[in-house]
Protein backbone atom coordinates (compact mmCIF):
# COMPACT_ATOMS: atom_id res chain seq x y z
CA UNK A 1 0.00 0.00 0.00
CA UNK A 2 1.35 3.43 -0.98
CA UNK A 3 1.26 6.06 1.75
CA UNK A 4 1.94 9.78 1.46
CA UNK A 5 3.33 11.61 4.50
CA UNK A 6 3.03 15.39 4.28
CA UNK A 7 4.36 18.23 6.45
CA UNK A 8 7.39 16.19 7.54
CA UNK A 9 10.40 17.92 9.06
CA UNK A 10 12.99 18.77 6.38
CA UNK A 11 15.66 16.92 8.37
CA UNK A 12 13.74 13.62 8.30
CA UNK A 13 15.53 10.63 6.81
CA UNK A 14 14.70 7.03 5.99
CA UNK A 15 15.49 5.32 9.29
CA UNK A 16 13.12 7.22 11.64
CA UNK A 17 10.28 6.90 9.12
CA UNK A 18 10.87 3.19 8.63
CA UNK A 19 11.00 2.70 12.41
CA UNK A 20 7.77 4.65 13.00
CA UNK A 21 5.77 2.76 10.38
CA UNK A 22 7.28 -0.68 11.06
CA UNK A 23 5.32 -0.71 14.32
CA UNK A 24 2.27 -1.38 12.11
CA UNK A 25 3.75 -3.90 9.66
CA UNK A 26 6.40 -4.54 7.03
CA UNK A 27 7.70 -1.42 5.26
CA UNK A 28 8.81 -2.27 1.71
CA UNK A 29 10.34 1.08 0.75
CA UNK A 30 10.67 4.72 1.81
CA UNK A 31 11.39 7.83 -0.27
CA UNK A 32 11.93 11.32 1.16
CA UNK A 33 11.29 14.44 -0.94
CA UNK A 34 12.20 17.76 0.66
CA UNK A 35 10.91 21.21 -0.19
CA UNK A 36 13.12 23.80 1.48
CA UNK A 37 11.11 26.68 0.00
CA UNK A 38 8.05 25.83 2.08
CA UNK A 39 10.01 24.35 4.99
CA UNK A 40 8.42 20.91 4.96
CA UNK A 41 9.17 17.51 3.55
CA UNK A 42 7.06 14.92 1.80
CA UNK A 43 7.60 11.21 2.04
CA UNK A 44 6.33 8.18 0.19
CA UNK A 45 6.24 4.88 1.97
CA UNK A 46 5.12 1.45 0.81
CA UNK A 47 3.73 -1.10 3.25
CA UNK A 48 3.40 -4.72 2.21
CA UNK A 49 -0.13 -5.31 3.55
CA UNK A 50 -2.99 -2.87 2.87
CA UNK A 51 -4.53 -3.59 6.27
CA UNK A 52 -1.27 -2.59 7.98
CA UNK A 53 -1.15 0.57 5.90
CA UNK A 54 -4.72 1.50 6.76
CA UNK A 55 -4.00 0.94 10.45
CA UNK A 56 -0.88 3.13 10.25
CA UNK A 57 -2.86 5.87 8.50
CA UNK A 58 -5.60 5.87 11.12
CA UNK A 59 -3.11 5.87 14.01
CA UNK A 60 -0.53 8.35 12.67
CA UNK A 61 -2.51 10.95 10.72
CA UNK A 62 -2.36 14.33 12.48
CA UNK A 63 0.24 13.20 15.02
CA UNK A 64 3.51 14.87 15.98
CA UNK A 65 6.66 13.43 14.40
CA UNK A 66 10.01 15.23 14.67
CA UNK A 67 8.45 18.56 15.73
CA UNK A 68 5.81 18.61 12.97
CA UNK A 69 2.18 17.50 12.82
CA UNK A 70 2.23 15.10 9.89
CA UNK A 71 -0.53 14.21 7.49
CA UNK A 72 -0.70 10.53 6.58
CA UNK A 73 -2.95 9.24 3.82
CA UNK A 74 -3.17 6.65 1.09
CA UNK A 75 -1.51 7.86 -2.07
CA UNK A 76 -0.40 6.90 -5.53
CA UNK A 77 3.18 7.58 -6.52
CA UNK A 78 3.40 8.66 -10.14
CA UNK A 79 6.71 9.17 -11.87
CA UNK A 80 6.55 11.47 -14.87
CA UNK A 81 8.66 10.88 -17.98
CA UNK A 82 9.44 13.38 -20.72
Asked whether residue 79 is assigned to any structural domain, the reply reads no
* 10 domain residue, yes or no: yes
Q: First CA to last CA across the chain, in angstroms?
A: 26
Q: Is residue 67 situated within a structural domain?
A: yes
Query: Considering the domain boundaries, does residue 81 fall inside one?
Result: no
How many CB atoms neighbour CB 49 within 10 A?
13
Helices (H), the chain: 14-22, 50-60
Its domain, for residue 35, covers 2-74
**pTM, two decimal places:** 0.83
Q: What is the mean pLDDT of the chain?
A: 87
Q: What is the pLDDT of residue 60?
A: 97
Residue 31's Cα: distance from chain center in Å? 8
Within 13 Å and on the Cβ side, how many CA atoms surround 61?
11
Within a domain: 27:
yes
CATH number of the domain that 68 lies in? Answer: 3.30.70.330
Give the number of domains in the chain: 1
Amino acid sequence: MNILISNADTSVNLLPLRHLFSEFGTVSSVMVLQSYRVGTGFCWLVMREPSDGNNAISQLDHTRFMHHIIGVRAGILTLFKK
